[in-house]
Structure 1
Amino acid sequence: MVARVFIDGEAGTTGLQIRERLAVRRDIELLSIPDELRKDTSARADYLNKSDIAILCLPDDAARESVSLIENDTTRVIDASSAHRVADGWTYGFAEMDRTQEEAIRTSKRVTNPGCWPQGMIAGLRPLISAGLLPADFAVTVNGISGYSGGGKGLIADYEANESSANMFAPYALGLSHKHLPEMTHYTGLTSAPLFTPAVGNYYKGMLTMVPLCFGGLDKVPSGADIHAAVSDHFAAANGFVEVAPLTDIQKSDELDPQALNDTNRLRLHVFANDQRAQAVLIAVYDNLGKGASGAAVQNLNLMLGVEQSTSLAA
């Protein structure tokens, strides 16, 4: 059976990437609204209600409006905005997050695609909190760098206009109130929001997140081997795209390139530790337009359609 899929907001960066991945699929009929009707509420409502699955690639308020326009009980939704990331009744679309998450996505009518930044830290911290190696009230700091495509068309245009003179490393969200904080807090299992300092680099796509951990104040200090074992065990049964690098004692690695996994749907998680100093760092590498956005949406779509989740996705 051919599924009718409507991408509401297909002209945006994420929407275009999703459409490109789905265009050659024979099991999908892509419904495409004419350009002149993209802002016509009545026309959008018609397309939303005649689709089997609607993928929302819109600003938050527009995504909420699209959901309100669905009047039937058959259209399923994948929302790529941050509007519903911690909302009741929505399933978080990080399939590898827990061993039951894949099935939850498969059977859900409302799936909220993860933000790009949270996935790396969730992948590292959730296993440690679940295993009891970190308390839920642990003070966490997260930082990292992403390609400028994560900022949408406006930022892409700015960087491409300035080319080599654009800022090579531009920290932002310096008010320390990034919109991904509720999602980061909720799905890691933390009881308070982390200190999050992201940055944009002068390259198109690819990202790296870092979570430094100082265990000195804990009653029981986990070793690097403990941390790596907990993370590895957490993802051992996941039939997805998260991989855990071997635990190694090195000073640097060519694998820690934010662009290393571009054009794939993979997320590679590294654990580095110094047991004598009771310190560790969790580093995740992935494509902000792949596993961080359109790739995750297609993976969730595949699960909801009951097909192999790697379909249309480069491993």
Structure 2
Amino acid sequence: MVAKIFIDGEAGTTGLQIRERLENRRDLEVLSIAPDKRKDQDERKRLLNAADVAILCLPDDAARESVSLIENDTTRVIDASTAFRVDPDWAYGFAEMDRAQSGKIASARFVANPGCWPQGLIATVRPLIEANLLPKDFGVTYNGISGYSGGGKQMIAEYEAADAIASHFMPYAMTFTHKHLPEMTAYTGLSREPLFVPTVGDFAQGMTTFVPLQLGHLGKVPTGREIHAAIADHFAAIKDSFVVVAPFSDTAKTPALDPQAHNNTNTMTLHVFANDARAQAVLVAVYDNLGKGASGAAVQNLNLMLGVNARESLAA
């Protein structure tokens, strides 16, 4: 059976990349809206209700509107906005979050695609909380750098227009109230929000994130190898995982931390660096903000919902 897919917001960065990943699929029929009808609510409503799966690549309010336009009880939804990410009626679309998550996504009618930034934090911190190596009230700080494509069409246009004079390293969200904080807190298992400082770089896509850990005040200080083992064991137990845990290493510098290393793939690689004598560690995630961080995750979730090979249309 050919599944009908409607990408509501297909002209945006995420929508275009999802469509590109799906264009050669014979098991899918991608329904498309005429350019002059993109703001026509009646036409969007018709296509949303005709689809087996609707993928929403829209701002939050527009995504909520699209969900409200679905009148049947059969259209399933993957939403790429932040509108439903902590809604208990929606499955969170980070399939590798724990052993049960891919099954929850597969059986869900409504799936909230995760944000790009939260995935690096969840992937590294959640396994440590589950292994009791970090307490839930641990004061986590989180930072990193992402390509400017994560800022959408306006930021892409600004960076491409600026060309050589574009800022190479621009921290933002310095009021510490970023919209990703609720999902970061909810799905890491933390009981307090992390201190989050994101940065945009002068490159189109890709990202590297960092969780520095000051461990000395813990009653039992985990070693770097214990931290690495907990993270490695977590992902080794997950079927069809796109998350790779690099071998534990005491290297001071490695090209593997290049934020563009996994561009155009759905791979995320995790690294653990530690100095046991100083009771310090840094957890690093490298992935594509447009791949695993957005459109790749959406296609991975679509595959789970349709019961097809998890790697269909996804480069690893």
- What is the TM-score with the length of structure 1 in the denominator? 0.99
Instruction: Identify the residue that residue 27 of structure 2 maps to in structure 1.
Output: 27
Q: Which amino acid aligns with 2:297?
A: A
Instruction: Identify the residue that residue 96 of structure 1 maps to in structure 2.
Output: 96
SS in 2 for 1:259: coil
Aligned equivalents of 1:269, 1:76: Cα separation in 2: 32
SS in 2 for 1:211: strand
Instruction: Identify the residue that residue 123 of structure 1 maps to in structure 2.
Output: 123
Instruction: Identify the residue that residue 48 of structure 1 maps to in structure 2.
Output: 48
Aligned equivalents of 1:217, 1:69: Cα separation in 2: 52
Instruction: Identify the residue that residue 232 of structure 1 maps to in structure 2.
Output: 232
Aligned equivalents of 1:281, 1:143: Cα separation in 2: 11
Aligned equivalents of 1:159, 1:59: Cα separation in 2: 21
Q: What is the CA-CA distance between 1:310 and the residue it aligns to?
A: 0.5
Instruction: Identify the residue that residue 105 of structure 1 maps to in structure 2.
Output: 105
The runs of 4+ residues in structure 1 deviating greater than 3 Å are none
SS in 1 for 2:315: coil
Aligned equivalents of 1:56, 1:251: Cα separation in 2: 42
SS in 1 for 2:65: helix
Aligned equivalents of 1:170, 1:249: Cα separation in 2: 29
Aligned equivalents of 2:255, 2:24: Cα separation in 1: 34
Aligned equivalents of 1:140, 1:224: Cα separation in 2: 17
Q: Which amino acid aligns with 2:243?
A: V
Q: What is the CA-CA distance between 1:124 and the residue it aligns to?
A: 0.2
Q: Which amino acid aligns with 2:199?
A: A
Q: Which amino acid aligns with 2:39?
A: K
Aligned equivalents of 1:63, 1:248: Cα separation in 2: 43
Instruction: Identify the residue that residue 271 of structure 2 maps to in structure 1.
Output: 270
SS in 2 for 1:175: coil
Q: Which amino acid aligns with 2:20?
A: E
Output one character per residue of 1:78-135: Cα deviation in whole Å (capped at 9) or x when no partner.
0000100001200000111100111111110000000000001100000000010000
Instruction: Identify the residue that residue 279 of structure 1 maps to in structure 2.
Output: 280
Aligned equivalents of 1:301, 1:273: Cα separation in 2: 37
Q: Which amino acid aligns with 1:276?
A: A
Instruction: Identify the residue that residue 155 of structure 2 maps to in structure 1.
Output: 155
Instruction: Give the unaligned 5+ runs of structure 1.
Output: none
SS in 2 for 1:268: strand
Output one character per residue of 1:19-39: Cα deviation in whole Å (capped at 9) or x when no partner.
011011000000001111111
Instruction: Identify the residue that residue 244 of structure 1 maps to in structure 2.
Output: 245
Instruction: Identify the residue that residue 3 of structure 1 maps to in structure 2.
Output: 3
Instruction: Give the unaligned 5+ runs of structure 2.
Output: none
Output one character per residue of 1:258-310: Cα deviation in whole Å (capped at 9) or x when no partner.
00011110000000001011110000000000000000000000010100010
Matches within 5 A, 1:117-266: 117-238=117-238, 239-266=240-267
Aligned equivalents of 2:88, 2:181: Cα separation in 1: 17
SS in 2 for 1:255: helix
Output one character per residue of 1:139-176: Cα deviation in whole Å (capped at 9) or x when no partner.
00000000000000000000000111000000001111
Q: Which amino acid aligns with 2:89?
A: G
1:13 aligns with 2:9: no
RMSD of aligned alpha carbons:
0.5
Aligned equivalents of 1:24, 1:252: Cα separation in 2: 40
Q: Which amino acid aligns with 2:168?
A: M
Aligned equivalents of 1:192, 1:73: Cα separation in 2: 37
Instruction: Identify the residue that residue 294 of structure 2 maps to in structure 1.
Output: 293
Q: What is the CA-CA distance between 1:11 and the residue it aligns to?
A: 0.3
Aligned equivalents of 2:230, 2:256: Cα separation in 1: 22
Aligned equivalents of 2:80, 2:298: Cα separation in 1: 7
Q: Which amino acid aligns with 2:140?
A: V
SS in 2 for 1:229: helix
Q: Which amino acid aligns with 2:272?
A: V
Aligned equivalents of 1:288, 1:17: Cα separation in 2: 12
Aligned equivalents of 2:195, 2:212: Cα separation in 1: 11
Aligned equivalents of 1:277, 1:45: Cα separation in 2: 58
Aligned equivalents of 1:107, 1:92: Cα separation in 2: 12
